């Protein structure tokens, strides 16, 4: 009887410790995420400076025939008066090159578009940093804008970004984007991806010059040409082969004392990252281990912690239903209800921010299980040197 009471006491302690941990976890995530700032409205045309700085917009594109026309058209249609678009065709084997040629010839502002071609990736470089570096060599602007081929931009996006950068005296301004999430799996996975990013890179710390934490959104990075040149840009040895070109550029800029700013650009920049579950798995697998902060020990803690905060609250509720003793069943159900209340409240807020219907919160354990597999495989492929495959190229292999 003493053994049974002792076991019961330890079980209750474990149960309520877990409940307290889950509640605290989602409360902290909400506090971090709620510090995200919304942008103001783009300025009217007559409020723009009389002599705007030249902005060179650089778009790396590798087999992007699905997206490149919409992206480049939206960039040529910007209502900012002084810009050029440099599309870097990174060894595409599909129709990317012909689409770019048609745009340069047929678009009313086609004279603003130049196309650079990469036929062979030099040794020691990753594809995207090399394409961006090639684009900067051809650029004439005082500012550089790095953006992805799967984005498209509202007409006032660049004008707003330049005003924001000047108002905040930012050397690097990065804008978050509206995630277009057609299909079931995009809506399942994106909220959990946002959860992980906000846990590792809280926005307040990113924008605090006293904090070493740095992050940029590679879908929209606006940087002063002078700052880019001073830090060495993507030609730096430590940036040439990175697969986290946005975060690592932000880190270098911030480490060198320049002003980094990450703001909310929803409604101005849109992106459709992945088409299906297979593409999403491969895309996140490329980043999650390399983008981790805190080294291998902290990564292992994440592997253990993710099921505890994403899956266990739902399992606990099911467990309570099958407990034979009413007192234990009621206590387990109470703890599960407290955990799920915090989880679903956080997910409700996050889903509204990402634009996902509220009922996708019920897929939280499914997303947790999928990301557990992505985390484990990402770490295994890098640590064992099996390599990371992306866009037909292998990195971090033997």
pLDDT tens by residue, 99-132: 999 999 999 999 999 999 999 999 999 999 999 9
Q: Give the fold, CATH level 3, of 45-276.
A: Spore Coat Polysaccharide Biosynthesis Protein SpsA; Chain A (3.90.550)
Report in angstroms the alpha-carbon separations of 342 from 22, 51, 165, 381. 8, 51, 37, 34
- Quote the CA–CA distance of 111 and 308 in Å, as a whole number: 55
- What does the pLDDT read at residue 323? 73
- What does the pLDDT read at residue 387? 85
In what side-by-side order are the strands of the sheet with 220-224?
A: 113-118, 83-90, 55-61, 143-147, 220-224, 172-176, 260-264
- Quote the CA–CA distance of 214 and 205 in Å, as a whole number: 8
Given a contact cutoff of 8 angstroms between Cβ atoms, the answer to whether 336 and 320 are in contact is: yes
What lies within 8 Å, CB to CB, of 60 at 6+ separation is 88, 90, 127, 128, 131, 132, 135, 148, 149
Residue with tokens 């700013």: 261
- Quote the CA–CA distance of 237 and 126 in Å, as a whole number: 11
Given a contact cutoff of 8 angstroms between Cβ atoms, the answer to whether 57 and 75 are in contact is: yes
Domain spans, the chain? 14-34+293-390, 45-276
- What does the pLDDT read at residue 28? 93
Taking only the tens of pLDDT, the chain with its 398 residues reads 443 444 468 788 899 999 999 999 999 999 887 765 554 444 444 444 457 999 999 999 999 999 999 999 999 999 998 999 999 999 999 999 999 999 999 999 999 999 999 999 999 999 999 999 999 999 999 999 999 999 999 999 999 999 999 999 999 999 999 999 999 999 999 999 999 999 999 999 999 999 999 999 999 999 999 999 999 999 999 999 999 999 999 999 999 999 999 999 999 999 999 999 999 999 999 989 999 887 888 899 999 999 999 999 999 998 877 777 777 888 899 999 999 999 999 999 999 999 999 999 999 999 999 999 999 999 999 999 888 888 888 888 76
- Quote the CA–CA distance of 38 and 175 in Å, as a whole number: 10
Given a contact cutoff of 8 angstroms between Cβ atoms, the answer to whether 98 and 127 are in contact is: no
Nearest to 268 by CA among 64, 69, 80, 54: 80
The sign of the dihedral angle between the CA atoms of 153, 157, 162, 167 is negative
The sign of the dihedral angle between the CA atoms of 67, 72, 77, 79 is positive
pTM for the model? 0.91
Pair of tokens at residue 223: 């940087």
Given a contact cutoff of 8 angstroms between Cβ atoms, the answer to whether 271 and 59 are in contact is: no
């Amino acid at each position: 009887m003493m053994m049974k009471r002792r076991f019961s006491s330890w079980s209750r302690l474990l149960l309520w410790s877990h409940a307290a941990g889950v509640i605290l976890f989602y409360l902290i995530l909400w506090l971090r995420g709620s510090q995200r700032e919304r942008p103001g409205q783009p300025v009217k045309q007559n409020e723009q400076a009389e002599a705007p700085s030249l902005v060179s917009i650089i778009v790396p594109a590798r087999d992007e025939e699905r997206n490149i026309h919409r992206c480049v058209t939206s960039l040529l249609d910007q209502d900012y008066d002084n810009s050029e678009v440099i599309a870097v065709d990174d060894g595409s084997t599909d129709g990317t090159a012909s689409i770019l040629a048609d745009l340069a010839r047929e678009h009313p502002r086609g004279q603003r578009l130049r196309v650079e071609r990469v036929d062979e990736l030099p040794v020691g470089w990753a594809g995207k940093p090399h394409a961006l570096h090639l684009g900067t060599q051809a650029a004439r602007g005082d500012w550089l804008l790095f953006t992805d081929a799967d984005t498209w931009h509202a007409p006032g996006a660049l004008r707003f970004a330049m005003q924001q950068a000047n108002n905040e005296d930012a050397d690097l301004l990065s804008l978050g984007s509206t995630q277009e999430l057609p299909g079931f799996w995009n809506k399942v996975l994106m909220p959990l991806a946002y959860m992980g990013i906000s846990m590792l890179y809280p926005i307040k710390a990113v924008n605090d010059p006293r904090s070493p934490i740095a992050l940029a959104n590679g879908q929209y990075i606006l940087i002063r040409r002078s700052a880019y040149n001073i830090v060495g840009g993507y030609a730096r040895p430590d940036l040439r082969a990175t697969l986290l070109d946005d975060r690592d550029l932000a880190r270098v800029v911030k480490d060198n004392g320049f002003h980094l700013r990450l703001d909310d650009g929803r409604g101005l920049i849109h992106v459709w990252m992945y088409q299906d579950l297979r593409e999403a798995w491969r895309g996140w697998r490329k980043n999650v281990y390399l983008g981790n902060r805190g080294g291998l020990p902290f990564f292992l803690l994440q592997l253990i912690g993710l099921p505890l905060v994403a899956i266990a609250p739902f399992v606990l509720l099911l467990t309570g239903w099958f407990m034979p003793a009413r007192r234990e069943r009621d206590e387990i159900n109470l703890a599960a209800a407290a955990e799920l209340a915090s989880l679903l409240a956080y997910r409700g807020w996050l889903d509204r921010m990402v634009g996902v219907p509220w009922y996708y919160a019920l897929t939280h354990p499914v997303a947790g299980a999928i990301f557990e597999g992505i985390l484990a495989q990402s770490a295994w492929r890098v640590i064992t040197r099996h390599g990371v495959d992306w866009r037909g190229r292998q990195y971090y292999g033997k």
